[in-house]
């Protein structure tokens, strides 16, 4: 039996959250660009939850930009898919299983463009969502809205908005709320600027451009949820057997979820009514606080710890979190060094601690195989963008060596020690087994490690103002700390070093 609208009545599995029959009569209110698992596991999750509680009462038309449409899983399953939520919350294992019915239909941009444009004539349509990856929000200067379809996502959106403008004679009431979820800072602002520039290049009239800017609300947003997509095949098959149906669209996600949407627009707040049913949806006039918490405590902690964890012999995040010594390092890094550095008028120390506690729960999720080697991709760029501001802020506030950060930096330098193999790529070694150093700075570190002692590598790395935008040797004691930890790590003393640090902390009563 395949999951579909027709088979719903035959599905009797316990603990499975199913839609009621009247759900399918809800009007289409959302146009969504993208069929990816992040959209289905986050915005579509919130909309489905709200629909089941009578708080949003609208379904989603999804635009698929790849493929030719036709008889795929979405049409076979009437847009239904199972969402399995598994993870840790407040130190306890949590599991929830949902049949999500938020998607009304999926239309291919390549073969159903006329039908997609026709949805612009629906007065119920109030919300546009997107996740077209970071390369989706770019200006294609040659794109034409008369193409069927336009080449780019901004071009498709512009064509849809222009059709809506014409259909409703430029009424401000027909304007929509547009919330991109691409992982780009100020994604809504950037999308709006691109759409406006494209409107001018397409020589659309001034009245339309004025309507574009005044009747529509382009919202910056931040999304945060790990949605790996399909479960491992064995687990997927076992889940289908337990539920009694086949589902090729089944996805899994962690428990934690956040969708911070930046707007002060009263109309948009009303449209985004699904925010009332889940505390994970936050509507605020400024979302910088949420971006800073995620960037520093989640992403920054990943970056400080990935090289250390990998070199210490851990392959996945959950493996490292099962080790008491390493788990304690992560906890102390976040609570003793990162949290005090981001405390501000916007972020209280308690908020930072609470967020850090949630990060620990997420890292401990036994259902997600998040590999440390994957996190090391673009290591140098991440260290500069996420963590350099933290190191500098620590010195500004406390004028002392941030030992946990120095440990992470030392491990980063050692991780970047590599050689060139026949394929022209750079590889390091862990216990005589090679690993790929997937980083633009790999050639620089190859030359550095080839011609210098470890102490000189540290000195030249930290003193490279061109690489970091500042001379890190000027930070009192940081160079010596990084050098000392690097020498210990070269002896393979990763966890011993963390244990020694913990003992020292206890001796001084921290």
> Which H, E and C letters describe 264-327, residue by residue?
CCHHHHHHCHHHHHCCCEEEECCCHHHHHHHHHHHHHHHHHHHHHHHHCCCCEHHHHHCCHHHH
pLDDT for the residue numbered 67 = 60
Quick check: is 443 in a domain? Answer: yes
Q: Are residues 258 and 311 in the same domain?
A: no
Q: Are residues 278 and 315 in the same domain?
A: no
Q: Are residues 154 and 22 in the same domain?
A: yes
CATH number at residue 69: 3.40.50.720
Range of the domain at 265: 8-284
Residues 231 and 84 sit within 8 Å (Cβ to Cβ): yes
Q: Are residues 461 and 434 in the same domain?
A: yes
User: Could you tell me the two tokens for 293?
Assistant: 């918490």
Quick check: is 67 in a domain? Answer: yes
Q: Are residues 249 and 339 in the same domain?
A: no
Residues 176 and 183 sit within 8 Å (Cβ to Cβ): no
Quick check: is 2 in a domain? Answer: no
Residues 496 and 418 sit within 8 Å (Cβ to Cβ): no
| Type and span of the H or E element at 461 | helix 454-462
Task: With CA atoms as reference, report the closest residue to 56 among 270, 274, 259, 267.
Answer: 274
Q: Which of 231, 257, 284 is the last residue of a domain?
A: 284
User: Could you tell me the two tokens for 347?
Assistant: 């972020």
Q: Are residues 398 and 308 in the same domain?
A: yes
User: Rounded mean pLDDT of the chain?
Assistant: 95
What are the tens digits of pLDDT across the range 342-362?
999 999 999 999 999 999 999
pLDDT for the residue numbered 69 = 46
Q: Are residues 165 and 142 in the same domain?
A: yes
Q: Are residues 178 and 296 in the same domain?
A: no
Q: Where are the alpha helices (DSSP H) in 95-173?
A: 113-118, 153-167
Q: Which of 284, 311, 345 is the last residue of a domain?
A: 284
Quick check: is 23 in a domain? Answer: yes
Q: Which of 263, 284, 305 is the last residue of a domain?
A: 284
Q: Are residues 49 and 93 in the same domain?
A: yes
Residues in the chain predicted with pLDDT less than 50, given as ranges, are: 68-70, 508-510
Task: With CA atoms as reference, report the closest residue to 363 among 267, 298, 407.
Answer: 298
Residues 178 and 219 sit within 8 Å (Cβ to Cβ): yes
What are the Cα distances from residue 328, in Å, to 6, 57, 241, 423? Answer: 51, 45, 39, 39
CATH number at residue 309: 1.10.1040.10
Quick check: is 1 in a domain? Answer: no
Quick check: is 3 in a domain? Answer: no
Bridge-based pairing of strands 177-180 and 127-130 is parallel
pLDDT for the residue numbered 65 = 84
Q: Are residues 230 and 302 in the same domain?
A: no
Q: Are residues 249 and 371 in the same domain?
A: no
- Exposure string of 42-79, with b = 16+ CB inside 10 Å and e = fewer, is bbbbbbbbbbbeebbbbbbbbbbbeeebeebbbeebbb
User: Is the Cα dihedral 285, 286, 287, 289 positive or negative?
Assistant: negative
Number of domains in the chain: 2
- Give helix 403-415 / helix 388-398 axis angle, nearest 10°: 150
Q: Are residues 259 and 299 in the same domain?
A: no
Quick check: is 228 in a domain? Answer: yes
């Amino acid at each position: 039996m395949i999951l579909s609208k027709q088979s719903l009545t035959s599905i009797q599995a316990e603990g499975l959250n199913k839609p009621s029959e009247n759900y399918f009569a809800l009007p289409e209110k959302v146009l969504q660009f993208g069929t990816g698992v992040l959209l289905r596991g986050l915005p579509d999750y919130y909309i489905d939850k709200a629909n089941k509680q009578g708080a949003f009462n609208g379904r989603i038309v999804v635009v698929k930009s790849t493929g030719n449409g036709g008889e795929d899983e979405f049409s076979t399953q009437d847009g239904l898919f199972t969402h399995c939520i598994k993870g840790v919350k407040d130190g306890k294992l949590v599991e929830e299983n949902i049949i999500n019915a938020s998607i009304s239909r999926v239309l291919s941009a390549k073969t159903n463009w006329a039908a997609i444009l026709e949805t612009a004539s629906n007065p119920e349509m109030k919300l546009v969502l997107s996740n077209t990856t970071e390369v989706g929000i770019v200006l294609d200067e040659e794109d034409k809205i008369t193409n069927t379809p336009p080449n780019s996502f901004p071009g498709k959106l512009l064509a849809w908005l222009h059709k809506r403008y014409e259909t409703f004679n430029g009424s401000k009431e027909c304007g929509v709320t547009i919330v991109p979820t691409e992982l780009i800072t100020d994604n809504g602002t950037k999308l709006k600027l691109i759409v406006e520039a494209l409107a001018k290049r397409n020589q659309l009239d001034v009245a339309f451009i004025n309507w574009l800017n005044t009747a529509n609300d382009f919202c910056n947003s931040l999304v945060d949820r790990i949605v790996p997509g399909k479960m491992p095949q064995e687990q997927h098959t076992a889940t289908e057997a337990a539920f009694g149906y086949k589902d090729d669209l089944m996805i899994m996600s962690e428990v934690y979820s956040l969708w911070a949407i930046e707007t002060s627009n009263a109309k948009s707040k009303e449209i985004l009514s699904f925010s009332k049913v889940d505390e994970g949806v936050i509507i605020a006039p400024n979302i910088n606080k949420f971006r800073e918490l995620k960037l520093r405590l989640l992403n920054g902690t990943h970056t400080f710890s990935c090289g250390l964890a990998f070199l210490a012999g851990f392959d996945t995040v959950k493996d490292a979190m099962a080790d008491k010594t390493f788990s304690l390092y992560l906890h102390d890094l976040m609570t003793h060094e990162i949290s005090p550095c981001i405390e501000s008028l916007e972020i209280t120390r308690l908020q930072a601690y609470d967020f850090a506690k949630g990060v620990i729960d997420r890292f401990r999720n036994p259902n997600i195989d998040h590999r440390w080697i994957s996190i090391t991709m673009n290591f140098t760029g991440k260290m500069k963008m996420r963590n350099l501001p933290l190191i500098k802020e620590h010195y500004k506030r406390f004028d002392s060596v941030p030992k946990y950060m120095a440990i992470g930096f030392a491990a980063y330098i050692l991780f970047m020690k590599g050689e060139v193999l026949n394929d022209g790529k750079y590889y390091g070694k862990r216990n005589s087994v090679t690993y790929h150093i997937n980083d633009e700075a790999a050639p620089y570190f190859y030359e550095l490690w080839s011609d210098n002692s470890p102490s000189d590598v540290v000195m030249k790395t930290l003193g490279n103002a061109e690489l970091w935008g500042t001379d890190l040797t000027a930070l009192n004691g940081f160079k010596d700390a990084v050098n000392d930890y690097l020498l210990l790590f070269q002896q393979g003393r990763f966890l011993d070093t963390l244990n020694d640090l913990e003992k020292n902390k206890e001796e001084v009563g921290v």
